[in-house]
Amino acid sequence: MLKDILLEIFQRDLNKLKTEIESYSNESNIWFISKDILNSGGNLCLHINGNLKHFVGAVLGKSGYIRDREREFKDKNIPRKDLLKSIDETIDIVNNTIESIPEEMFSKSYPVEYSNKIVTTENLFLQLATHLNYHLGQINYHRRLIDK
């Protein structure tokens, strides 16, 4: 049952991420920052993808993905089509990994520390879902504020 809920939440919110990136009327605005806006929608998108590809894909799914968190915030002007492709990859990684996890693994310890502590795998997924949703809200606000 938890698998179905997680699949629904991640599918919904990652598809909403795609919609947000597609909704910028001016593609260059995806990367806009100023002294008051430190993270662009594009960098937050890269961060969401990197976070999920690492904690879900690499750690649980053994995908081989190697995260470069600094680049998630330093890279700029990546074409929209490449961001959307990366979101699609993230959707596949998250779906395939969740599907492959035995139900009993959710109540067991996640294989590595998260935020400097040991948490259960179900706790990790809840933290990842709220992290995704938090940044999704930031992207929505960024787009509506900048992309007038």
**Spatial distance between the Cα atoms of 132 and 127, rounded to a whole number of angstroms:** 9
Mean pLDDT over each residue of the chain, to the nearest integer: 96
State pTM to two decimals: 0.96
36 phi/psi in degrees, rounded to 5: -95, -15
Please give the span between the terminal C-alpha atoms of the chain, in angstroms, as a whole number. Answer: 42
Of 108 and 148, the structure prediction assigns the larger pLDDT to 108
pLDDT digits over 14-43, tens only?
999 999 999 999 999 999 998 888 899 999
**Spatial distance between the Cα atoms of 2 and 101, rounded to a whole number of angstroms:** 11
> Is residue 43 a contact partner of residue 119, using CB atoms and an 8 Å limit?
no
CATH class of 2-146: mainly alpha
